[in-house]
Amino acid sequence: MTDQLHFETLAIHAGQQPDPATGAVMTPIYQTSTFVQDGVGDHKGYEYARTGNPTRTALEACLAALEGASHGLCFASGMAAIDTLLKLIKPGQHVLAADDVYGGTYRLFVRVLSDYGLQFDFVDMADLKAVAAAIKPNTRLIWVETPTNPHLKIIDLAALAEIGRAHNLQVAVDNTFASPYLQQPISLGADFVIHSTTKYIGGHSDVIGGAILTNDAAAYERLKFLQNTIGAVPGPMDCFLTLRGIKTLPLRMERHSTNAQKIAEFLADHPGVKKVMYPGLSDHPNHAVAKKQMRLFGGMISFLPVGDAATAKRIVERTKIFALAESLGGVESLIELPAPMTHASVAGSLLEVDPTLIRLSVGIENVDDLIADLQQALSGK
């Protein structure tokens, strides 16, 4: 039935029915570790809550529907989802990753999984020729994020999936920055979508979580086995909070995007700003690709102020509504300096970030208040 429904309807209903026992409209928080069996092996689909929990099942089904996938699996964090997906790759095999990946992903690939014999290379995937040239005989997976963090580069997912198919490789897309409302990688040819549901999907900065969505039934069976075997699963309360957040995802993404567009235009015109990175600006190098594959351009903006690292530090410490904090995707606006904060773990690596770069996670407050706040922070008075 859910196939014909629109995204906004799926966000509220997919995977969820009124509770059969009580009629509760919202999926209950099944706060239990185990489930009684009527006879040995005779149960209602649940035995032990690491293996499966009904609140988690509802979230997994809802996220799968939103990404246009047949299968979903949820995890205790975005990193747990990424680590579990990478367990599909064996020692001696090679992963080609974008050069602008999330810092925690880079750290996992280079400082943990490399010790177990997995091989990684990082290329600028906005350059599709460079991607094709970097594929090796033992490459098994292409790993990409778009928009990227913190440079807001846009990578052409349909073209990347084409390269993957031509070389018989699978493509995994970390869709955290866009959310499924703005971009659906599986419909563009990707094999796996990964989320940190901590960000836009949860949307209220009150829960950590991750997910993998796929149409590949064989990979799903293996990933489900890994989910149960490794055990990095989210608790039912976390699943409930995430499901609750998802119901307003379309409304929030609309407001995040319209607010961010106005703020990006304000910053682009400001004499104290050298460069603005936002895919919704017509001078963004991949604006055309963004327009083709995204519904709107999202809530993340990066910019370089005129001045040095001390200037940038003063600006981020001077905002009053934009809170100085890591993370992103919540209803409240955040500001940060990636170099010493979110991207500190990649200092000295090829992912190193300009120390003056400022990143905004634009919230859903009134945009005039947000612009006034940035105006006073940039004016330095």
Ligand X SMILES: *Cc1c(COP(=O)(O)O)cnc(C)c1O
Binder among 77, 84, 302, 319 for ligand X (CB under 6 A):
77
Catalytic-labelled residue, pool 56, 140, 153, 199 = 199
CA distance 173 to 14: 22
Residue 104 near ligand X by CB under 6 A: yes
Residue 174 near ligand X by CB under 6 A: yes
| Residues β-bridged to residue 116 | none
Catalytic-labelled residue, pool 100, 174, 238, 373 = 174
Binder among 102, 109, 220, 240 for ligand X (CB under 6 A):
102
CA distance 226 to 174: 19
Give the strand order in the sheet containing 334-336. 273-277, 300-305, 358-361, 334-336, 323-324
**278 noted as active-site residue:** no
Residue 149 near ligand X by CB under 6 A: yes
In terms of CB distance, is 177 or 181 closer to ligand X? 177
Angle, CA of 243, 246 and 249, to the nearest 5°: 175
**102 noted as active-site residue:** yes
Shortest Cβ 352–ligand X spacing (Å): 18
261-280 binders of ligand X (CB under 6 A): none
Joined together, the tokens standing for residue 129 give 């020729």
Half-sphere exposure of 230 (CA within 13 A, CB side): 20
Q: Say which amino acid occupies 94.
A: H
126-145 binders of ligand X (CB under 6 A): 145
In order, the DSSP letters of 33-71 are SB---SBTTBSSS-SBTTT--HHHHHHHHHHHHHTT-SE
**129 noted as active-site residue:** no
Contact letters for ligand X, residues 230-259 (x by CB under 6 A) = ------------------------------
Residues touching ligand X: how many (CB under 6 A)?
16
Q: Which residues are catalytic?
A: 50, 102, 174, 199
Q: Which residues bind ligand X (CB under 6 A)?
A: 77-79, 102, 104-105, 145, 149, 174, 176-177, 196, 198-199, 208, 210
